[in-house]
Amino acid sequence: MESRIFQYRDHLQIHYQVGGHGPLPLIFLHGFAASLTTWHDIVPFFPADRFRIFLIDMKGFGLSAKPRDGAYTIEDQAVMVRSFIRELGFSSVILIGHSFGGGVALLACLQMQSERDPFTVEKLVLIGCAAYPQRLPKFFRRLKTPLLGPLFIRIIPVRLMTRRTVSQVFFEASSVTPERFERYTRYFRGKGIPYAMRATVKCIDPEAYTHIDERYRELSVRTLIIWGEEDRIVKLKHGLRLHEDLSNSRLKIMEKCGHNPHEERPAETFAAMEAFFAAADDPSK
């Protein structure tokens, strides 16, 4: 994978990686408090001659810019993603989003319905997608606290935060390899990351998504929903609801799997995507 920079509005630098030389462009959007490295376990399964892969570090995360501008809503991220796709110049793309990134992908599709974008989302893959209002995990609720929030992420040792996070994200303890543990540790380190995490959580407005299911029903894009049966972050009931609300969707539930199937079960996750892409291209299936 080759690292590149996308110059976004106000000269904000968005870091991304690109690989492969195939005809199908895939754009991957990571979850909250993560980075594009969350996709590194599954990327090798995609044949380079079939796919052109783009992994984005969302604004405020990974190696992308972390401005103190407060603009960290899902809407802000969706506008950035659409600008990125326009910059690439493709007429159609496949969007793949995990958790928070899944919510961004969904909203980008909704925005496109009311805007005149020069491209379409041909297919959509949503993994453990944050699609509906829900009670935030305790860690996120603490970040929102006005007085304790700024201190919380600074005073707790990074490795302790990592240990708590991976225990919630992965179902199988054996999935937390030393390499993955270090990957998650890096998510919490770096200048500007505490601000970006708090700004993102503070921008979450459950009231704004009270009737979002009505808008989801308007989407016709072919969608694959992948969910870990043992997801502790975004419960399976949300996946079942999303499958009902998206009229052109199929649902793949992975047994004995947590919130990150693309890391915990990358081969099976890729197989589900590959079968979906093949079926979506064949009207008889």
pTM of the complete model: 0.93
Q: Which residue has the higher pLDDT, 194 or 62?
A: 62
- Would you state the pLDDT for residue 114? 80
* Residue 144 pLDDT greater than 90, yes or no: no
- Would you state the pLDDT for residue 115? 83
H/E segment holding residue 262: helix 261-264
Of 9-23, 115-129, 134-148, 161-175, the poorest mean pLDDT is in 134-148
- Would you state the pLDDT for residue 190? 82
Look at residue 17 and tell me if it is in a domain.
Answer: yes
Give the chain's mean pLDDT: 90
Distances (CA, A) of 88 to 25, 26, 112, 261, 273: 10, 12, 16, 28, 23
Which among 193, 261, 194, 201 has a CA at the least distance from the CA of 226? 261
* 3-state DSSP assignment of residue 235: coil
Distance, CA of 168 to CA of 163 (rounded, Å): 9
- Would you state the pLDDT for residue 283? 46
Look at residue 202 and tell me if it is in a domain.
Answer: no
Cβ–Cβ contacts within 10 Å for residue 185, how many? Answer: 16
Determine the Cα angle at 54 with ends 123 and 132, to 5°: 50
Question: What integer is the mean pLDDT of 192-196?
Answer: 87
Question: In total, how many domains does the chain have?
Answer: 1
Q: Which residue has the higher pLDDT, 213 or 79?
A: 79
Cβ–Cβ contacts within 10 Å for residue 263, how many? Answer: 27
Look at residue 148 and tell me if it is in a domain.
Answer: no
Look at residue 178 and tell me if it is in a domain.
Answer: no
Q: Regarding beta strands 12-19 and 2-8, do their DSSP bridges make them parallel or antiparallel, or are they unpaired?
A: antiparallel
Distance, CA of 246 to CA of 223 (rounded, Å): 8
DSSP letter assigned to residue 209: G
Task: Please provide residue 63's backbone torsions phi and psi, each rounded to the nearest 5 degrees.
Answer: -100, 10
Distance, CA of 284 to CA of 202 (rounded, Å): 46
- Would you state the pLDDT for residue 243? 97
Cβ–Cβ contacts within 10 Å for residue 113, how many? Answer: 12
Look at residue 169 and tell me if it is in a domain.
Answer: no
Domain containing residue 14: CATH number = 3.40.50.1820
Task: Determine the residue type at 202.
Answer: K
Question: What integer is the mean pLDDT of 54-58?
Answer: 98
Look at residue 30 and tell me if it is in a domain.
Answer: yes
* 3-state DSSP assignment of residue 248: coil
For 264, the domain range is: 2-136+207-280
Look at residue 92 and tell me if it is in a domain.
Answer: yes
